[in-house]
Chain A
């Protein structure tokens, strides 16, 4: 059943440019996928490691800026992509080494501070980042001779990376290391007493999270062919956190659903509803009130409840005089 559902989902996603109608909507679908990758990365920390971060837009932006500067410096796409991911991981190692000194609110505040430092650099270190004007690149890569210049071409490339990201998350979640990460979320003291290196487990989870955040940042750069300080602002970190929370933390599907909700509201609903921010806020409030665990687990809970309510009650055996029960 599960492989069949996955195959159907892949077919539907793979044919989006053929039936969605119009370049604009194909681009919206690409945005959903790339922000889905970003949200999946953040979910490793927020959902599985229990570490709420408000600084991951910094890592997303570091990848985008690095890629942009390497491309404008005359390097090829392979060097730009590799350089962006490597620098993101180096920055993530520094972020993790500093922020993992605290947990809970302390961790959140350190990630906010680190994210703001990246934003400050993006805004003020003009010789590198071009300040408020941002950095533009020209053209997208053509891996294996396939041009990503068209909306459909870029969508399919993003979809391929998205599927790899989802698969890597599924493998991570089911692995012993994934179980260790969840253990450090639920009982860090016990994990330590059981022989786990709690700090190192969280550090590696941070790097895994940063890797996919960096990949998403690079895709964002190629999608827009432009990066500016807005990308690394605190609001961007808050937005991806809302994607994860609204969809359902610690689930595979939740961050993707959350990313879909936010991107659709920003890109599609904003065309029809002037005060779309208000509507998005109202939706978040409704989710928190009625499905505090997020849309995906909340919908599953509702479905179970409806299923149980519709099912007829089990027949109660009636005791009979000879000691046997039944009809």
Chain B
């Protein structure tokens, strides 16, 4: 049983085919890296898996459950978490409120118009725990707008982790970070328990190759190479289309 399986997935925007019969099987607990040049269809693949885009053909299964036609919001309840390449936080709110919103997303409490959110002690305590896990508990009451880019990247990951996803999709989690910040985020991602299957898109090969167990190379919407780190790096197609050799 695969944690996440994509079969013959297709997506076109008008005449442009961005996902062409993609097949992918990620085993439970696996750390999978997806690489490819700009325009390869990596983020589109994530958007199809999370349901933000509807595929033209093919299927997506999560732990053998077909989720191809399940609405995007329901997929979060089934265990898919994601981060965004472009940071997508709630800038007016504090870090604590951002994580609380993430926790609320899976709780029936989100419909309650009568209780005070601040008085839901268990929820707030859980949000503080998540912030502590990413080393940001000391900034809990600071608005996102007053934090650094590296801290926001960590909040992005924390928001996804807060929901205890079974499959976590990380879209370029190291983008725009300094060397020290990359190290912090890598430490954070590496510490995620094996119960969470991770699929990561990343351009920073130095960091990403250390993390990944298997690598999938996408090019023009197709899977061109897949294998272990050594296999993929040694493959002539990888060198040709990605490393430019």
Contacts and interface: CB of A to CB of B under 8 A. Distances in A.
Interface of A: 171-172, 174-180, 182-183, 186-187, 189-198, 204, 208
A175 B114 contact: yes
Contact of A186 (B90, B104, B112): B90
Closest 4 CB pairs between A and B? A194-B105, A195-B76, A195-B105, A177-B113
7 contacts: A174-B117, A174-B118, A176-B120, A180-B101, A187-B90, A190-B90, A194-B106
A189 B88 contact: yes
Contacts of A193: 50, 52, 72-73, 76, 82
Contact of B92 (A174, A175, A176, A186): A186
A246 to B, nearest CB: 21
A194 B114 contact: no
Contacts of A196: 73, 105, 110
Given A175-B114, A187-B90, A196-B105, 13 more contacts: A172-B113, A174-B117, A175-B115, A176-B112, A179-B100, A182-B90, A186-B91, A187-B88, A189-B52, A192-B73, A193-B73, A196-B73, A204-B111
Contact of B113 (A178, A189, A191, A198): A178
Contacts of A189: 52, 88
A139 B52 CA distance: 56
B68 interface: no
A177 B73 contact: no
Contacts of A178: 113, 117
B163 interface: yes
B74 to A, nearest CB: 8
Interface in B84-127: 84, 88-93, 97, 100-102, 104-107, 109-118, 120
Contacts of A182: 90, 93
Contacts of A198: 73
A179 B77 contact: no
B18 interface: no
Contacts of A172: 113
Given A175-B114, A177-B110, A177-B112, A194 B163 contact: yes
A176 B114 CA distance: 8
A165 B77 CA distance: 35
Given A183-B90, A194-B76, A198-B73, A176 B104 contact: yes
B77 A195 contact: yes
A171 B92 CA distance: 20
B163 A195 contact: yes
B26 interface: no
B170 to A, nearest CB: 13
B109 A194 contact: no
Contacts of A190: 84, 88-90, 159
A117 to B, nearest CB: 30
Contacts of B50: 193
Given A195-B163, A196-B110, A176 B115 contact: yes
Interface in B37-78: 50, 52, 72-74, 76-77
A183 B163 CA distance: 17
A192 B70 CA distance: 13
Contacts of A174: 116-118
B119 to A, nearest CB: 9
A175 B106 CA distance: 16
A171 B115 CA distance: 7
A183 B114 contact: no
Contacts of A186: 90-93
A194 B82 CA distance: 9
A208 B97 CA distance: 23
Contacts of B90: 182-183, 186-187, 190
Contacts of A208: 113
Contact of A191 (B74, B105, B111): B105
Q: Interface centre among A179, A197, A198, by most B CB within 10 Å?
A: A179
B101 A194 contact: yes
A179 B84 contact: no
A196 B97 CA distance: 15
Contacts of B82: 193
Nearest to B112: A176
B73 A197 contact: yes
Contacts of A192: 52, 72-73
A172 B76 CA distance: 25
Given A193-B72, A194-B159, A195-B76, A176 B88 contact: no
Contacts of A179: 97, 100-101, 104, 117
A254 B77 CA distance: 37
B62 to A, nearest CB: 14
Contacts of B52: 189, 192-193
Contacts of A187: 88-90
